[in-house]
Structure 1
Amino acid sequence: MSEKQSADPMHGMTLEKILQALVEHFGWPELGRRIAIRCFNHEPSIKSSLVFLRRTPWARSQVEALFVEMKTRPQRPAAKDERPRLFVPKPR
């Protein structure tokens, strides 16, 4: 029998794996900006965040929703020499 891969981005993911993937993708500062909880903004760590998220259903659901959004949003391939574009206003 062949196994079919699940289309669910949460399939087989633990809360720890989800959090590690978000931190790797966004970094702590951006993660704390997107989900404003203390454990992401003040001395963040995987361990302290897991303790909080396991006890706080509303925060866990926000983390899981951000993970699903990250996994399902199409990624735009970056050019090798592409740098972030900064807006610089023209002098008047």
Structure 2
Amino acid sequence: MTRSSSQDPLHGVTLEMLLTRLVEKYGWEELASCIDIKCFANDPSITSSLKFLRKTPWARQKVEALYLHSPWPADDD
């Protein structure tokens, strides 16, 4: 194993997976209130949000931070 993968909490998590989980957990309305991004508030979709987040580093950082600080149940795999 490499150290870099174990040190990166988002290792193996794509932006689409991350955003989908956040939408399932919070819904678009609550996401828009947590992070003031128009693509979450005005006619939101995974596709349009991914397009924006991939081009906007500051917004992606906020979404990743919310994901990392959200409580998630333990995986039962």
TM-score range normalised by the length of the shorter chain: 0.7 to 0.9
Q: Are positions 1:38 and 2:38 aligned together? A: yes
Deviation of 1:11 after TM superposition, in Å, equals 2.2
- Report matched runs for 1:47-58 at 5 Å: 47-58=47-58
Deviation of 1:10 after TM superposition, in Å, equals 1.3
Deviation of 1:74 after TM superposition, in Å, equals 7.2
Q: Partner letter of residue 49 of structure 1? A: S
User: Could you say what the CA RMSD is over the residues aligned between the two structures, in angstroms?
Assistant: 2.1
Q: Partner letter of residue 63 of structure 1? A: V
How many pairs align? 70
Unaligned 5+ runs, structure 1: 1-5, 76-92
Q: Partner letter of residue 28 of structure 1? A: W
Q: Partner letter of residue 27 of structure 1? A: G
Unaligned 5+ runs, structure 2: 1-5
Larger Rg: 1
Give percent identity, aligned residues only: 56
- Report matched runs for 1:18-29 at 5 Å: 18-29=18-29
Runs ≥4 in structure 1, deviation > 3 angstroms? 6-9
Q: Distance in 2 between matches of 1:15 and 1:36?
A: 18
Q: Partner letter of residue 13 of structure 1? A: V
Q: Which has the higher helix share?
A: 2
TM-score by length of 2: 0.81
